[in-house]
Amino acid sequence: MKFIHSSDLQIGKAFGTFSSEVATLLQEARQTALRALGDASMAAGASTVLIAGDVFEREQMSQSTLLRALETMRAFDRLHWHLLPGNHDHYRENGLWDRLARALLPPNVHFHVKPGAVAIADDDGTPVYLLPAPLFFRASADDLTAYMAGAPTPERALRIGLAHGSIQGFGSEGDASNYIDPGRAESAGLSYLALGDWHRQMKVNDRCWYSGTPEPDRFKRPPDAADSLCNGGGALVVEITGSRMLPNVQPVPTGRYKWHQLEKTLTDDARSSRSNRRFARWIAIWVRSFWICAPAAVSRSKAAKRSKTESFKASAQPCGRFASTNPASCSIRPNRIWMTSTAPASSASPPIGSR
């Protein structure tokens, strides 16, 4: 059994903190994330896509957004898509999921809005059962995967769990406050537990993974990151050859854009360190052949304002498509980004990143 594990597409996300031009690009990328997952599945020879919650950004979505998602999945008629309600798009009666069900639902698209083992495939004579744990509220005080330990399935069946929440003992990086026992895969006899909610890809144990979001959507780097690349932009290809065999899990890139968080200190004025050492923070999104650069939380202390570093001022205009003027800025070329200033050349940052 080979499948793609993904989560947290959050189709319909507004990206309200960005300019309208950039927000439009990012919104489109989230819609086309389904196509990226379909393409990745076909390339890997997978037959199934599991999306572990937060397919949509919110429970109230326009009909056109919902229908476009359905039609994208319909186009991959050799794939079976299994979708789970998460905290952003939790299930409620006559809500989003019932609206989708009343549409012309493609035969290869399946919603899992009730807990319980469901047969989803036959892998060369081995039955494959999915054990979903859908959310009915934005937050739950209970571990919704607890039922899996007692859910009956045929002997030697592949048991695959699908859930959305935070693993107990690992802290909380996601939005959902419902917690999941990190030993659930073992206690419930699962071949694999596919999790969503955390936007970075992470292995909990040999049978339990977070897929991360297929398209980056926030400026947050993994803990102890060695570079500027932010979370997200991939999925997992999972292959299981037997009910008690360990799964083979391989990351696969799916993101259209790469987000980078860049942090530079642009002054050596010692007084500024007492109030704000972060003179400017630069964030970049790689857009195939060019970078979009946007400042976040740019602030200056009084000491920094009096220093020569106030000469950091320019305009950002990647490939002529967007333009903005900011207190600090960057020079943009098709495949790299660096800080510019009217200060001596030795103080400028070297090029960062490449295609």
Residues 78 and 224 in one domain: yes
Residues 242 and 331 in one domain: no
Tell me the CA end-to-end span of the chain in Å, nearest whole number.
Answer: 34
Residues 46 and 127 in one domain: yes
Which single residue is written with the structure tokens 């495939």? 121
Average pLDDT of 223-239?
86
Q: How confident is the model at residue 302 (pLDDT cuts 50, 70, 90)?
A: very low
Residues 13 and 110 in one domain: yes
Residues 101 and 35 in one domain: yes
For residue 354, being part of any structural domain is answered with no
Q: Would the pLDDT of 330 be above 60?
A: no
Q: What is residue 271's predicted lDDT score, i.e. its pLDDT?
A: 53
Q: What is residue 257's predicted lDDT score, i.e. its pLDDT?
A: 87
At 299, list the tokens: 């602030």
Average pLDDT of 296-301?
35
Average pLDDT of 325-331?
37
Q: pLDDT per residue over 149-161, tens digit each?
A: 999 999 999 999 9
What is the pLDDT of the chain when averaged over all its residues? 77
Q: Burial-class residue 327 by CB neighbours within 10 Å (0-12, 13-18, 19+).
A: middle
Number of domains composing the chain:
2
Residues 104 and 166 in one domain: yes
| Other beta carbons within 10 Å of 331 | 18
Which residue would you say has higher pLDDT here, 263 or 270?
A: 263
Give the range of the structural domain holding residue 318, as residue numbers without chain letter: 257-347
Query: What CATH number did the domain enclosing 97 receive?
Result: 3.60.21.10
| Other beta carbons within 10 Å of 129 | 21
Residues 106 and 183 in one domain: yes
Q: What is residue 292's predicted lDDT score, i.e. its pLDDT?
A: 43
For residue 132, being part of any structural domain is answered with yes
Torsion of CA 71, 77, 79, 80, to 10 degrees: 70
Residues 312 and 272 in one domain: yes
Q: What is residue 22's predicted lDDT score, i.e. its pLDDT?
A: 87
For residue 292, being part of any structural domain is answered with yes
Task: Determine the Cα–Cα distance for residues 57 and 231; give it in Å rounded to an integer.
Answer: 18
**Do the Cβ atoms of 148 and 188 come closer than 8 Å?**
yes
Which single residue is written with the structure tokens 């305009």? 315
Phi, psi dihedral angles at 38 (to 5 degrees): -65, -45
Q: Would the pLDDT of 229 be above 50?
A: yes
Which of 2-11, 69-78, 277-286 is predicted with the least confidence, judged by mean pLDDT? 277-286
Strands 208-210 and 324-326, bridge-based pairing: unpaired
**Could you give the C-alpha distances from 295 to 223, 227, 278, 282, in angstroms and in order?**
22, 18, 12, 5
Residues 180 and 323 in one domain: no
**Do the Cβ atoms of 106 and 73 come closer than 8 Å?**
yes
Q: How confident is the model at residue 54 (pLDDT cuts 50, 70, 90)?
A: very high
